[in-house]
Amino acid sequence: MPADCISNMFCYDKGVLRELEQVYGGHGLRKFLEAIARPPTRYYIRVNVLRAEPLQLLDDMREKGLEVYSDEFLEEALWLPVRGPNNVRDTGCYVVVDKRAAESVMMGAHVYAPGVVRVDECAKPGAEVTVVSENGVLVANGVVEEGFSTALRVKRGLVVRNVRPLYSVPSLRDTEWSTRGLIYEQSISSMLVARVLDPEPGSIIVDMCAAPGGKTSHVYELVRGRARIIAIDHSASKTRRLRENLERLGHRGVEIIRMDARYADLELGKGVADYVVLDPPCTSLGVVPKIYDSKSLRDVRVSARYQRQFLRAAYGLLRSGGVLVYSTCTVTLSENEKNIRYAVEKLGFRVLEPPSTTRRFAKGIGFCSDCSIRVHPHVHGATGYFVAKLVKP
Ligand code: SAM
């Protein structure tokens, strides 16, 4: 195990641990590290309120046998309890999968060819196998599919059907609710962003890092499609997914632009936007569940510097009086409160208080405690998140 690894799961160097300790202290840090290895306690979906009424959908899901509840604060949010950990049997016959696959297989996804790292000789069609991550976590029991060797050769298709994941929550992906665009699977933490933005119909809204579209589509629903929404992402494949998601939800008229959003104000013009959503790439330390992770202080610094470039462009894009919501799914001060301090002291933003409905979560730390919300995995049982609201004077 490399020197910086604190277990076989987390390799964070001293600088990252110091960043985490500044937020949680020593005791909290242990709790935080335990919590990010587990899934959230509730699996959230957002109801597309332009196509379905949340309480009717809740009844429909219950009639079909699902255990599902309404969120206490956001009427568009429903959740299903996540059960587990279940006892995954060590069959002695293994299919090893990469980090990304392991993190979804442990939640019930089947094993597809692109995520497979190694298949034991004993894994023949119909055999019961144990799916295991590269760091040795048993994530599911499954049955090898008939066409698995072809799937592996062409690197596409089903390899193992998951029969007993470490954690269980009913899969909604291929249900009619999903294919008909009635729901979008999204964490409650991520849903806070559009709610904090609280956009007005008739406005111009730019989502600078939009793919796969969770926040863009939520914003669209809040203004009931009555706004000019510009959704930017620099990745071709992710922009395609963004388009597919918006089509599935029936959200027409969103302008999708593939570009480097760090220069969006130069491309789209200064002062054009009433609202900006900025959800830039980050070190993702708050994402749950994690099968393993490795980060250095350098990653945090590079990420924080990159995020400041977007903040500068966001300032340029907004008109005077325009509102920015900045969010990350990470927990370091450098990528969150310190970036907000930079936005205020160096760029000229002013802070705003988020709506009271979002106050069931924690306040930000120190600077900007009143302008930001934090979701803590070990306290709130959800993805670690930071959301701040700013205005351009
Ligand atoms: N807001 C999205 C949602 O809720 O579904 C998630 C956004 S994800 C945290 C960050 C996104 O930023 C990725 O899709 C990535 O492709 C995009 N990105 C990274 N660098 C970028 C850049 N320079 N310009 C535009 N998009 C970028």
Single-letter amino acid code for the residue at 256: I
The DSSP bridge pattern shows strands 158-165 and 138-144 to be antiparallel
The token pair that represents 60 in the structure block = 């429909």
How many Cβ atoms sit within 10 Å of the Cβ of residue 16?
23
Task: Find the 27 Cα to ligand 1 centroid distance in Å.
Answer: 33
The pLDDT of residue 4 is 74
Query: Is 291 a member of any domain?
Result: yes
The pLDDT of residue 313 is 98
257 close to ligand 1 (CB < 6 Angstrom):
no
Q: Which domain holds residue 46?
A: 42-82+171-179
Residues 175 and 161 in one domain: no
Residue with the smallest CA separation from ligand 1 atom 19 is: 281
Residue with the smallest CA separation from ligand 1 atom 21 is: 234
pTM of the model: 0.95
The pLDDT of residue 6 is 76
235 close to ligand 1 (CB < 6 Angstrom):
yes
Q: What is the pLDDT of residues 174-212, one digit of tens each?
A: 899 999 999 999 999 999 999 999 999 999 999 999 999
The pLDDT of residue 174 is 85
In Å, the largest CA–CA distance within the chain is: 66
Q: What is the pLDDT of residues 41-58, one digit of tens each?
A: 999 999 999 999 999 999
Catalytically active residues are 329
Q: By the 8 A CB rule, do 111 and 158 touch?
A: yes
Residues 196 and 321 in one domain: yes
Residues 212 and 303 in one domain: yes
Residue with the smallest CA separation from ligand 1 atom 3 is: 214
Single-letter amino acid code for the residue at 143: V
Per the structure, the count of domains in the chain is 3
Residues 230 and 109 in one domain: no
- Ligand 1 atom closest to the Cα of residue 209 is 12
213 close to ligand 1 (CB < 6 Angstrom):
yes
Residues 78 and 103 in one domain: no
Q: How far apart are alpha carbons 87 and 127 in whole angstroms?
A: 19
Stretches where the chain sits below pLDDT 50 are none
218 close to ligand 1 (CB < 6 Angstrom):
no
212 close to ligand 1 (CB < 6 Angstrom):
yes
Select from 320, 310, 301, 302 the least CA-distant residue to 210: 310
User: Which residues, 6 or more positions from 318, have their beta carbon under 8 angstroms from its beta carbon?
Assistant: 271, 273, 274, 275, 276, 324, 392
Task: Find the 152 Cα to ligand 1 centroid distance in Å.
Answer: 30
Q: How far apart are alpha carbons 199 and 169 in whole angstroms?
A: 33
Ligand 1 pocket test: pick from 208, 234, 278, 309 the residue with the most ligand atoms within 8 Å of its Cβ. Answer: 234
293 close to ligand 1 (CB < 6 Angstrom):
no
Residues 56 and 106 in one domain: no
Task: Calculate the average pLDDT of the chain.
Answer: 96
Single-letter amino acid code for the residue at 175: T
Residues 246 and 142 in one domain: no
Query: Is 12 a member of any domain?
Result: no
- Ligand 1 atom closest to the Cα of residue 279 is 1
